Amino acid sequence: MPTITPSLWFDDDLEEAMRFYTGIFPNSSIEYVNRYTDAGPGTAGQVVSAGFTLDGTRFVGINGGPVFSFTEAVSFLIECADQAEVDYYWDALVAGGQESQCGWLKDRFGLSWQVVPTRLYELLSDPDQTRAAAATKAMLGMRKIVIADLEAAVANP
């Protein structure tokens, strides 16, 4: 069976992005870096493509120039076990980036991430529709998801 690997197009900061991401996620590494040679077409020594792993998931990237930009149409979801994990990934990834809503953010490279506690899924699928609606309403008002605020909302719907 073939392997599916996300491929990310950066303007010219792939190497910086790989260092940033591998510094955040455990079990991560830069696998290889391909650089232009004197034969071109880019400047000799400049990164053209690379492979890296983030917590066991393999990615490849290219420095393709400012032809395309990341959009929210593609994002990476980080399912977090607790608030400490949410806080860690949110704070690390949003640094130099931009908060959005409902657990979404764009990092400093423009890549979109969803930082979501698994507790959110449990609350949104509560068989008591009043509680599920209260969790949804609370989530829609948040930027970073705060589990305690979700719990308070469903406790007093």
> Which 8-state DSSP code applies to residue 44?
T
Nearest to 8 by CA among 79, 54, 69: 69
Tens-place pLDDT, residues 1-32: 899 999 999 999 999 999 999 999 999 999 99
Residues 6+ apart with CB under 8 A from 141: none
CB contact at 8 A, 47 and 83 = no
At a CB cut-off of 8 Å and minimum separation 6, what does 50 contact? 14, 15, 18, 30, 31, 32, 33, 34, 60, 61
Q: Calculate the average pLDDT of the chain.
A: 96
Are residues 9 and 63 located together in one domain of the fold?
yes
| Full domain range(s) for residue 128 | 70-157
**Is residue 77 predicted with pLDDT exceeding 90?**
yes
Q: Is residue 157 over pLDDT 90?
A: no
Same domain assignment for residues 152 and 77: yes
Verify cis geometry, omega within 30 degrees of 0, for the bond prior to 41: yes
Same domain for 82 and 133, yes or no, is: yes
For residues 127-146, average pLDDT: 97
Q: Who contacts 156 (Cβ-Cβ below 8 Å, separation ≥6)? A: 134
Using a cut of 0.85, tell me whether the model's pTM lies above it.
yes
Domain boundary among 37, 53, 68: 68
For residue 124, what pLDDT is reported?
96
- 127: its two tokens: 């068989």
What's the pLDDT score for residue 103? 97
- Provide the sign of the torsion angle of the four alpha carbons 132, 138, 141, 142, taken in this order: negative
DSSP string over 60-76: EEEE--TT----TTSEE
Cα separation of 29 and 9, whole Å?
19
Indicate the residue among 68, 87, 118 that finishes a domain.
68
| Statement to judge: residues 17 and 52 lie in one domain | yes
- 56 and 98 housed in the same domain: no
- Name the percent of the chain lying above pLDDT 70: 100
Mean pLDDT of 102-114: 98
